[in-house]
Amino acid sequence: MSWTKEDYPESMKNLTPETRNKAIEIANALLDDDYAEGRAIAIAISQAEKMNDSSEDLPYHIVPHNDEWAIKRENATRVTEVFSTKEKAMNKARDLIKDKNVQLTIHRRDGTFERVQYAN
């Protein structure tokens, strides 16, 4: 069985979308290599979390996203999460950087820099 972004193991439900998508990709590759389903899931989650941890120092950005606002890691091809207002995105982003030494760059609707914040 192959998993998708919409149909994945219950044990992946609490992963961030970015980590879950990577875990799905890894698990599917392991299944293709004849790993048992349970083992493939465990390995995939572990490896995806390690990959995500290696990007812990990458800055976050609050950027316009269609008619909404999104949080995006620097150099990421996809946004982390989308919000209806800039204020909601900023509140979530502040929670994300709270215990990390990570920069948060806030953009204006036209994409230019508004300001930079740090958790500390």
Its pTM surpasses 0.75: no
Are both 34 and 66 inside the same structural domain?
no
Tell whether the torsion through CA atoms of 17, 21, 22 and 26 is positive or negative: positive
Give the range of the structural domain holding residue 71, as residue numbers without chain letter: 60-118
pLDDT digits (tens, 9 = 90+) for 69-83: 999 998 888 899 999
Are both 46 and 20 inside the same structural domain?
yes
pLDDT digits (tens, 9 = 90+) for 10-52: 999 989 888 899 899 999 999 998 999 999 999 999 888 877 6
Are both 110 and 70 inside the same structural domain?
yes
Classify residue 114: in a domain, yes or no.
yes
Are both 81 and 109 inside the same structural domain?
yes
Are both 66 and 49 inside the same structural domain?
no
Are both 36 and 65 inside the same structural domain?
no
Classify residue 88: in a domain, yes or no.
yes
Encode 5-66 in three state secondary structure.
Answer: CCCCCHHHCCCCHHHHHHHHHHHHHHHHCCCCHHHHHHHHHHHHHHHHHCCCCCCEEEEEEC
Classify residue 46: in a domain, yes or no.
yes
pLDDT value of residue 82: 97
Are both 32 and 70 inside the same structural domain?
no
pLDDT digits (tens, 9 = 90+) for 86-95: 999 999 998 8
Residue 102 is classified by DSSP as -
Q: How many domains does the chain contain in total?
A: 2
